[in-house]
Structure 1
């Protein structure tokens, strides 16, 4: 390296000499010789000083480079230690992340299993609720059908009851009229009996006494019979009133029919007697 440096300086001096020589060609030859001698001496002295300075500079540069290399080694060592520390931390973090990921995976699997179990329970409950809902809907339809049937039956029963009530009211009116007629007939019978008794007391010594007594006895029997029939008719009327309250169909009793027959016979006999 020093040879290269000296060679470069020599080259510079030669170039300077060549330039100076070019200019000295115009001057005197003596001046050129003196100048050449002086320059050669100066170059020898300057060359020795330059070599020493270059050596000092090179030593300083080497020391600086050594110091920088030492610092670089220290920095590299610190960086290597930091790298190893970071690598250890990274490995620990990786292991922790792996353990955490494994733990998360187990938790996810457990939660997925619980979710499947809950989903199955939900499906089972949903099917059960749907079945119960279908049963309730079926029961509701059956109840609605029964309600409709009961409504129809109630309407029919109400119509029948209204018909029965109307029939009972008609029968009651007829029985009241018949009872009033029987009361009038009874009053006539009582009046006839009173008249016959009066005639019997006036004609006690007549030849018709025996016949009037027989007629009187017969009329007395008819009167008693009519009284019994009237009582039966009143009972039948009361029963019809009770039936009207209870919405029962009217029923004609056998005594009532017998009473009507007896009343008709009395009426016929009375017509024959009056004629």
Structure 2
């Protein structure tokens, strides 16, 4: 009798340990689905082998318990009916253990599939982030190239204005030396001055348009950087700094336009002085007419160059707008993918919480069964084997019936 009691106690404790190991294996599998790594497949294989080994050991121990109970019945001379009943209950317990093993395999396969799916999503997100970073780097290079081209154009324009100023100074010296001219030449010079003023105003408007375009690009890039992940914040800050530099350069262009307007006022004053001086310089009208014709040719050449520069600026601006629209589309696509991954993460977390709650309930039921078994053992010591043996069989059947629904709930 004491041997049978000890064997039954050992089997109960080993069944409880087996259940706890299975629950720990399931929890470790769920944590692996939320944090994928390179060594996951090897760890899952090891856990699977351990679970299979423990289930096999439990089946062997159930068989040993069956043999011990048979010997105990032979020694005590129990009835054949009780013996068959206990054998049937032990057989059912063995079948339930086998079905539990199969369900464990099914859960293992489902968890493996979920881990592979999560890994694919992470790899796809990484590739999209790298593509967006490459596009952002290319856009930075394009802006830098555009800035350098604008600086070159501004320098060339300043050089042309300086050469024009030198020509005006040369004309002044010629006028002072000749001290002759005609009123018609003065009118022509006034018309030229008006055209120069018009061109300066056009340059000012162009600079204002550049400033507005740079501001729009800055606003769009700020919105784009707000939608990206935390990994791209540093690069967005650098891009913002470069855009601020472009803003400063645009302000410099505006200041240059103001200085050109001041030079225009100075040139107007000088022209008035020329007008007074040229009234006395009428003998050199032919020579001045030729010089003015040369200036007309230079002015037309400048107008052609200005038109070419405007067309180039428009083409480059349109190209930047197309690239920016493409980058915004890619960012929106990445944002949708991120939201889908976040939803999947929340669903897996809910499943994990549900499984933990079910594990706690199963643990409580096992503790209650253990306490009831201790009470039955105490009663058996006081009343003999014939009193507690049927109760022990009923308790084993109840424990198996309680564990089977718990395993069914934990298997999905």
With the shorter chain as reference, the TM-score category is: 0.3 to 0.5
Which is higher, the Rg of structure 1 or of structure 2?
1
TM normalised by structure 1 equals 0.36
